[in-house]
Amino acid sequence: MQSKIKYRKKRTPKIAKQASDSLKIIPLGGLEEIGRNMTLFEYQDQIFIIDMGLQFPDEDMPGIDFIIPNIEYLLRHPEKKLLGIIITHAHYDHIGAIPYLIDKLNYPPIYTAPLSRGIILKRQEDFPDLKKLNIQEINAGQNITLGPFKIVPFHLNHNIPDTLGLAINSPAGLIIYATDFKFDLQPIADKPADLSRIIDLASPGVTLLLADSTGAENPGHSISEKTIMDNLDPVFREAQGRIILSTFASLISRIQQAIWLSEKYNRKVIIEGYAMKTNIAIAEKLKYLSIKKETIVNWQEANRLEPNKLTVLCTGAQGEPEAVLMKIVNREHKYLRIQKNDVVIFSSSVVPGNELAVQNLKDNLAKQGAKIYHYKMLDIHASGHGYQEDLKTMINLVKPKFFMPIHGHYSMLKTHGELAESVGISTKNIVTATNGQIIELGKNKIIATQKFVPTNYVMVDGLGVGDVKEVVLRARQTLAKDGIFIIVALVDRKTGLLHNDPQIISQGFVYMKESRDLINQTKKLIKEIVSSSTRGQTFNEGYIRNNLRNKIGLFLFKKTQRRPMILPIVIEI
């Protein structure tokens, strides 16, 4: 599955030599967007990386599987020493690009917590052509030395265990890196963040805090997982039929809640979905999940149970076409059909862009007789990202001199900066950066330079990595929007005229049986264009094709106000 990354050429600004105490911070992704998280920390040509994630494509990127960070800056500077990669947690927007970039970087060591290590290694099995990863396991409180950087991980709450913040002792001073986090005093399958530990780590004085901004536009505190547990309890208690709970495969705390509630109300559990089965197996092996031996059953055992004695945990709450929940609703699942009294729980928020797919899924489930619960009806999903009061708490605990919001769309970063200002950080000490922007940090200064490194999208499409360029994407967008109009013209070289009527194929443009007048007019125009293009018995295939493409395109636009892709095929006979 390995292929070379090809990058679109882009102007690389000249980078001035940094001062001896100046540290460069370069976000290659994660700013102005959700996902693709990857940040470089560079001091005197020594670099370490935090996270290496992917981003899911927008609706206007047909055929694209996902987007990964652009590492052109690293590849163009082989003289720089890459010390290692630190992974803060095992969500794909923080680990998903590893298989696509690690060999280009010559397999540097990866440092991460046990659960993240297990998930990364399991995913790497899908890439058998790659070399074995060098992953060194770390835990909160363990010191790591990478060149001039002394790094101490600390525990944070998120919606996956083993999430690590980082206290980075650098030549530019102490940096606190607060990855995706929230403060949860009553988490499930996790322990609360140790606030006293954060205060202790920050006590020497923090030069810079970088902190997650995803929840910056939400007032108050994020919901505790204990609240979710309390709200799910009556649903499990009162359900008369099977419970089908769909959530993210990585949401270990929610999976634990469903298992505990199933055990409490004497339900057996079926696990459906490859990613969910994999993550549960890893989490259970590492003792991040507690499951009684008799709780998990197979379908042969499940089919002997009364409906009110079975819980199905599955993926598909985002309406993904190939996920388990969609297969159930489409009656494609081998064992499961929706029955009266079935309860379907959507225990996740809707990822932007998936609203219509999720609504259609809920409609179809309701038509088949299911009772549906989702987060807008009841607090049965909690964000893993801190809201405004959580973010202000982090700033007050750390008391940094400088502040840089990370992880989020630009409006989220801007709002987070305003929150920092509201709790006493001076406006001139707050940097709201963009992807690729080089931030220079010293003990008493922070400069958002106007120097940038390339961060344009590298798109993954099947086995292709970086081979889908903007021109290809634009062609796909045109096809998706206005379709394709194919003209097949057989031209007699001797006469310069069409040998017979041109053939026309329309896909995604007009329905030909109901557009006969338009098609007949187009055929007539094709004859005229070919005849005028071959006057004097000159025959130039490329010239004929260009004339057909331009003039037929203009004609169809005048008639329909649409611009299909025109594909002329000229054959000499």
Residue 333 near residue 303 (C-beta atoms within 8 A): no
Q: How many CA atoms lie within 13 A of 79 on its CB side?
A: 3
Give the residue among 566, 571, 564, 557 at the shortest CA–CA distance from 487.
566
- In sequence order, the 6+-apart residues with CB closer than 8 A to the CB of 307 are 240, 241, 242, 339, 341, 342
Element (H, E) at 168: strand 163-170
Whether 212 is catalytic: yes
User: Cα(55)–Cα(100) distance, rounded to whole angstroms?
Assistant: 13
Using left for φ > 0, alpha for ψ between -120 and 50, and beta otherwise, residue 309 falls in alpha
**CB-count exposure of residue 19 (10 Å: 0-12, 13-18, 19+):** exposed
- Tokens representing 55? 């981003």
Residue 100's nearest CA partner among 46, 38, 42 is 38
In this structure, are residues 285 and 118 in contact, taking their beta carbons and an 8 Å threshold? Answer: yes
Is there a contact between 52 and 92 (Cβ–Cβ < 8 Å)?
no
Catalytic residue from among 381, 385, 407, 416: 385
DSSP 402: E
Q: Which of 162, 180, 184, 212 is catalytic?
A: 212
Query: From the CB of residue 45, how many other CB atoms can be counted at a distance below 10 Å?
Result: 11
Residues 6+ apart with CB under 8 A from 367: none
Q: Are strands 484-491 and 565-572 parallel, antiparallel or unpaired?
A: parallel
CA-to-CA separations, 312 to 170, 295, 335, 492, in angstroms, rounded: 48, 12, 11, 67
Residues known to be catalytic: 212, 385
